[in-house]
Chains A and B, each alone.
Chain A
């Protein structure tokens, strides 16, 4: 800005405060329009559609709560999908957090080769998409896959080797192992938090004779609890929406063992074209997500520790 440039022409009749407010609304307009067109509008439509037999072409009759009653009382696949999703979330979320935290704690030891390790552990965050899922299909191949080859070498008899994606019992564990690999990249979140834990707290814990394990639970975990809590909330919400992997890898099989909730919505909406019923399914998922988040927020007051918070 040169000294001679005159201030930009200003609107008459608007004071400083009003002008700033106008700019403010202009700047957030993209989000606001997007919120109305792609979030709020669709949600209201979806809520209305869930009380109809909408099929995207002609039918759009009000059927009341029929969809909800049907899926809660008669639809065995709904319960199957829900329990598959709960199974996945129960194991994948804690194991994922443990994996990320373990790597972060190890990296926090000032070991050699930090940069190399960080790069390697971040790779799973980068390597995603169909290519990597197809790789897992190959890794879990019952005959020639890496995992079964390794298990065989470790002495597991050939007949006891898991069939992974071909076996209803082992398909979900295979997906959970995959998710742990992917969760390794989450170490960054915890490492950033670990770096913020004051050293002298460990010193005083050592003077009190606390073991490393005890120091971890009494000092480290409380101080990084906000990050763990954040990962727990987003992790559970993400796990409830875990499904596209099964669309690509297993199409929900074998015998619906990987029919996750999202896949069931996808099939109902876009294969069977039962948009009304799918909307009801989606709203049940929304209610479950909100309920779980609410419960977590409630419990978080007991264990999440915010620095400088006045209690």
Chain B
């Protein structure tokens, strides 16, 4: 206690003058922050590296104790074996079809709705916008059962229609996100096009969409990622094995082969590879997208 008192008095003075004490304090703080970040990074990377390590192990090293991080020899064949042990090529084509269709439908319909909500005036707009916002609080579980009933009455079970069609009808979250972005685009640009006689559809396609590329890319990446990783909906609507997606295939692969971990991890790495690649290529959009949604106030 006796020591702490002078410190309290010292701090304001050094803060004001930016003296050596403050500089060394800052450096110490940064060094500590850096050390903490390295530690946390390792915790984050640990499972992912373990996955890659396991996927390259010979059969007899999978359960080795203590665990080996670098397998000897490195068994690249695990990847070929894993891929061949189930019809993964077909599943991959199905997954790609599902994810690309949903991404297209979402970007198209959400950007249309967002344009209407942000740049056009019509009676009841604010009320409808409020309705849209409030639907975000409705748990998906409430509509899951009746939607299943609807699609089964339409005879859509065992097709991709229940998975893809709803994406063409503008979900609330991404419409809201795009609207926030559209609001930042100056109205003068639209007015100029209107004076030239452009239709609203033309303005949406030729003025709005090009200017909103970062936001659209964010929505596209998140949607693709979500559909690629979706397990519940394909499981619910697709019974025919030829229609399975990678996620469903992976789960059945685990259940069927009384778990050969090295193969399962190899298959998992391959399933994750596309989204990881997309992430690295479009990283700046991810960051921007998170900032977009993060800066939402209230």
Contact = CB atoms under 8 A, between A and B. Distances in A.
B116 A289 contact: no
B160 interface: no
Contacts of A17: 121
Contacts of B139: 237, 240-241, 282, 285-286, 289
A201 interface: no
Contacts of B144: 265-266, 269, 282
Interface string A20-39: 11111111101111110111
Contacts of B54: 138
Contact count band on B = 35 or more
B141 A30 contact: no
Contact of A134 (B48, B193, B229, B254): B254
A37 B109 CA distance: 15
Among A5, A17, A25, A203, the one with the most B-chain Cβ atoms within 10 Å of its Cβ is A25
Among A8, A143, A209, the one with the most B-chain Cβ atoms within 10 Å of its Cβ is A209
Interface in B229-274: 229-232, 236, 247-248, 250-251, 254, 261, 264-265, 267-269, 271-272
Contacts of A35: 131-132, 135, 169
B115 interface: yes
Nearest to A44: B146
Chain B contact residues, majority secondary structure: helix
B97 to A, nearest CB: 17
Contacts of B232: 244, 247, 266
B103 interface: no
B250 A27 contact: no
A146 B69 CA distance: 11
B228 A129 contact: yes
29 contacts: A1-B193, A7-B197, A25-B116, A27-B115, A27-B120, A27-B200, A28-B116, A30-B112, A34-B166, A43-B143, A49-B145, A111-B33, A121-B40, A122-B283, A128-B225, A129-B229, A131-B247, A131-B271, A135-B48, A146-B67, A184-B44, A193-B295, A196-B295, A209-B8, A212-B29, A229-B298, A241-B140, A270-B236, A282-B141
Pick the 6 closest A-B CB pairs, nearest first: A34-B169, A27-B116, A129-B229, A7-B197, A188-B290, A24-B122
Interface of B: 8-9, 11-12, 15-16, 29-30, 33-34, 36-37, 40-41, 43-48, 50-51, 54, 62-63, 65-67, 109, 112-113, 115-117, 120-123, 125, 128, 131-132, 135, 137-150, 152, 166, 168-172, 175, 193, 196-201, 204, 225, 228-232, 236, 247-248, 250-251, 254, 261, 264-265, 267-269, 271-272, 275-276, 279-280, 283, 286-287, 290-291, 293-298
